[in-house]
Structure 1
Amino acid sequence: MPSYVVREWDKLAYGDNVGQIPVHFADQLATLARRARFAGKGGSGVLEHGRHALRARGVVGILAAENCSLEILPKIDVAAEEPVEKQNAAIRKRLIHMLAVALNLKLDLGSLTELAWQRETLLEILIRIFCDKLTEAVRKGMPRRYVEQEDDLSALRGRLDVARQFTRHAVNPSRLACRFDVLSEDTSLNRIMKAAVSYLSRMSRSSGNQQRLRELAFVYAEIADISPSTLRWDDVVIDRTNRRWRELLSMAKLFLEGRYQTTTGGAGHGTALLFEMNTLFEEYVGRLTSRALQGTNLTVTLQGGLVSCLELEEPRRELFQTKPDILIRRNGKVTHVIDTKWKKLSSRIDDPKQGVSQADIYQMMAYGQLYRAPRLTLLYPHHPELKGKELDPVRHRINGNKAILETASLDVGNGKNITDRLQHLLMSDDCSD
């Protein structure tokens, strides 16, 4: 099955040449993209179905139609002098790193060869990681728990169900209505794992992954089949006896629940695994901020605050509730508000405003007023065209106010010491009293 690659905000022209996509395949993928949750009212939130090309937007991942697939990769700057295949491999690594941080996963990527990173799509890489981790876990033993059962036996087992005994067996005392506990593998956790294996078997196009999934399906053959919509996620308790399953549960949620992505399906239509980069970047930076400030006298709140802009007097009611991406406090007082933007900043030489929208500035000024924060940061992804260094903030004093509003950028293409680099920004030139 042919597979195509495009980066967000780039175009994939129609045609039969290398680097192009046949029109009938483009039509299939555009139809599938319009069914995704991120498609929006006009249906072009994932792909713009133009006259001469498909154009990707701010959503990345995989669209797998009946006869073809399209991988949309994020605009993460990597070594431009490298061949395209190696660039794409580097981007896949960085994207999976962002997912691992956002989901608080510890992924061992050492088993994947450089050739696999270049040849496999993001979806197949994620499936392979999940299969390897699940195979390792089941080899150590599937989780079991005691499940209460009822049965009519000739000898007492467990305890007698008195009500059932004197209704069903009133005239047949040779049968005893028993209620007892059985140590079973048919648990909610194992049902979730089986549902993930079944779902990924329909998604994967890799022969290697299909083989891994068939082996896992055999292991889970005795576990009940439950549709993803009826899985009992709240029934799963991760404790010291099954903590090695924590990351597998998070990955199963990634595939089945749609925390950052959306999945669509249907006979003859295909499936999609999509991630909105705005949301992923926000969660990624939030997790890194929490790590960077561990052990300091600062505390971090993600998507908190919840202070409203307006308050009605009659009837008393609050309107326009705010939810900043990151709030940093010292001794309960907000000292820093950070809002992430998955947008490309301009160089100060080219544009004094750096392409920052007026709406974003107004939003940050509102945060400064409502939370009495002396420091406000708009944080963007870094790219080589910016003349300043990564995390080197451009600061502005708000007129009539002591607060500082700054723009800064984080190089997500460089994963080395990223927590330390972010800590340098967060701890530098504290503007609080």
Structure 2
Amino acid sequence: MPSITLFEHEPREVDEGVREAVKIINRTLPRPTSTSNDSPQEDFTEENGFLQVTAKGIKAKHYVGFAFAGDLSIQVLPKVFKSWGELDAIIGFMKMLNVSYGLNIYDVDLSTFKSLKARSNIFEVLVFLYAKSLWEEILKGYHREYVQRVSEEKFLRGKLLVERQILKLPHKMHEFTVEVHEFTQDNLLNQIFYFTTGFALSKTRWEGNKRLLESLMLVFADVTPKRITPRDFERVHFTRLNERFRKPFNLAKIILGSIAEGRENIGGFFVDMNELFERFILWALRSSGFRVHYQREFWFVKDVLKARPDYVIEGVGVADAKYREWNAEPDILRQIYVYSKILEFQGEEGRAFLIFPRTEGFNKDLEPQELEFFDGSRIEILPYDLEVLREGYLDPLFKAYFGKR
């Protein structure tokens, strides 16, 4: 299978076959629903969707993830991790995705995948995490639940469905149409796992994943095959009895992507990096002990104009996360200045912060600094050092810096 890896905004010359496959991906995958203030509002087309089709090739945009169409496999990695190399960039992306959306992935699992020297591929990482977490839960015991079934029985058991029974022809009256509740392994959650496992097995190219998935296929041999749709995921309800399967369930949703619509040869999963960085910083702020309102909306010209900063931090001020290289663009500075003045007018703390990502190869020389406006108001520029994702600990910058005056 042809495999292409790009970093955000990277162009690549490709042949006409790849360009046509990318057009199918743009046309087929569900449109994104980003809530980020920095995400451009754009109409998706075949030539300009998750990826851009150019005259001579394709170009990545601000969406990170993977997709496939027929024999083509393509992935886009975060620009901030370009200096790390492909596998480390994928691990860094997975760590951001994990804490931002509560996937409950352990760093040790990502380290295990890295040590196995597997393919540097987002899809393979997701399949490994799914199969490993599901297998670990299966070893603790199969998931069984009571399932309601209607069947024809020679002996009366369960609830007799009288309205069906009386409509039977005489030669069928010796059988009873009954409704029974069976405590069985053949339930919706396991059907989702069976479908996901079979699909992942058909797409994975790494032997380690193949072995795990083949073992799982044997485990679910008694589960009825079922084509899974988005509605099936919505029908699953977690209780204390099946809560331990939530992690592989969430990973299954990501792996299937648009495949849940029945498109076995076209699918993928992309994340808007502007929104992912915003949610990652939200996690970092709250993990540092601050009470934060995410995208709190308020009017600053009554019933006419409204503001929606990324974060209102109680007792500190207002902050926006900017997933870009640092520069003092007037529009960016003006926006956060207005937010801070609105908070001051409402009697709240009005300090203003702009937070940018920093790695060895991105905003490398950016240090905390202050910019002053004409009225003496200050905007504080803060880098968040994403290099800590390699080390596995939280950047203490917020606790240390927000206390300053």
Structures share fold, TM-score greater than 0.5: yes
Question: Which residue number in structure 1 is paired with residue 275 of structure 2?
Answer: 279
Q: Is 2:278 aligned against 1:302?
A: no
Question: Over residues 15-70 of structure 1, what are the superposed CA-to-partner deviations in whole Å (9 max), with x where a residue is unaligned?
Answer: xxxxxxx5235424432453243684453343333344532221222232323323
Equivalent residues of 1:307, 1:321 under 8 A apart = yes
| Aligned residue identity for 2:350 | P
Alignment of 1:307-386 (within 5 A): 307-312=298-303, 321-330=306-315, 335-345=316-326, 354=327, 356-372=328-344, 373-384=349-360, 386=363
CA distance in 2: counterparts of 1:143 and 1:321, whole angstroms: 49
Equivalent residues of 1:263, 1:273 under 8 A apart = no
Equivalent residues of 1:25, 1:67 under 8 A apart = no
What secondary structure does 2:285 align onto? helix
RMSD: 3.6
Equivalent residues of 2:257, 2:268 under 8 A apart = no
Q: Is 2:26 aligned against 1:34?
A: yes
CA distance in 1: counterparts of 2:93 and 2:141, whole angstroms: 31
Q: Is 2:150 aligned against 1:157?
A: no
Question: Which residue number in structure 1 is paired with residue 287 of structure 2?
Answer: 291
CA distance in 2: counterparts of 1:159 and 1:271, whole angstroms: 43
Measure how far apart 1:329 and its partner are: 1.8
Q: TM-score, normalised by structure 1?
A: 0.74
Equivalent residues of 1:292, 1:422 under 8 A apart = no
| Aligned residue identity for 2:336 | M
Question: Which residue number in structure 1 is paired with residue 15 of structure 2?
Answer: 23
Measure how far apart 1:382 and its partner are: 0.8
Measure how far apart 1:343 and its partner are: 0.8
Measure how far apart 1:231 and its partner are: 0.8
Measure how far apart 1:380 and its partner are: 1.3
Equivalent residues of 1:189, 1:236 under 8 A apart = no
Question: Which residue number in structure 1 is paired with residue 387 of structure 2?
Answer: 413
Measure how far apart 1:160 and its partner are: 5.7
Q: TM-score, normalised by structure 2?
A: 0.79
Question: Which residue number in structure 1 is paired with residue 53 of structure 2?
Answer: 49
CA distance in 1: counterparts of 2:85 and 2:319, whole angstroms: 30
Question: Which residue number in structure 1 is paired with residue 86 of structure 2?
Answer: 88
CA distance in 1: counterparts of 2:92 and 2:364, whole angstroms: 23
Measure how far apart 1:408 and its partner are: 1.5
Alignment of 1:213-228 (within 5 A): 213-221=213-221, 222-228=223-229
The count of residues paired between Structure 1 and Structure 2 equals: 382
Question: Which residue number in structure 2 is paired with residue 83 of structure 1?
Answer: none
What secondary structure does 2:88 align onto? helix
Q: Is 2:117 aligned against 1:116?
A: yes
Question: Over residues 378-415 of structure 1, what are the superposed CA-to-partner deviations in whole Å (9 max), with x where a residue is unaligned?
Answer: 211114464756xx43223444475x422222122332
Question: Over residues 130-168 of structure 1, what are the superposed CA-to-partner deviations in whole Å (9 max), with x where a residue is unaligned?
Answer: 11211222222222222234456565534566x548855
Question: Over residues 161-209 of structure 1, what are the superposed CA-to-partner deviations in whole Å (9 max), with x where a residue is unaligned?
Answer: 6x54885589999876654432122333223323432443454344543
What secondary structure does 1:191 align onto? helix
Identical columns (%): 20
| Aligned residue identity for 2:299 | S
CA distance in 2: counterparts of 1:5 and 1:378, whole angstroms: 31
Moved more, 195-204 or 131-140: 195-204
Mark the runs of 5 or more structure 1 residues left unpaired by the alignment.
Answer: 15-21, 81-85, 313-318, 346-353
Alignment of 1:249-264 (within 5 A): 249-256=249-256
| Aligned residue identity for 1:30 | V
CA distance in 1: counterparts of 2:401 and 2:187, whole angstroms: 44
Moved more, 360-369 or 92-101: 360-369
Measure how far apart 1:359 and its partner are: 3.1
Mark the runs of 5 or more structure 2 residues left unpaired by the alignment.
Answer: 33-41
Equivalent residues of 2:25, 2:267 under 8 A apart = no
Question: Which residue number in structure 2 is paired with residue 237 of structure 1?
Answer: 238
Measure how far apart 1:370 and its partner are: 3.7
Equivalent residues of 2:86, 2:120 under 8 A apart = no
CA distance in 2: counterparts of 1:165 and 1:3, whole angstroms: 56
Query: Could you say if the C-alpha distance between residues 144 and 393 of structure 1 is closer, same or farther in structure 2, counting changes exceeding 3 Å?
Result: same
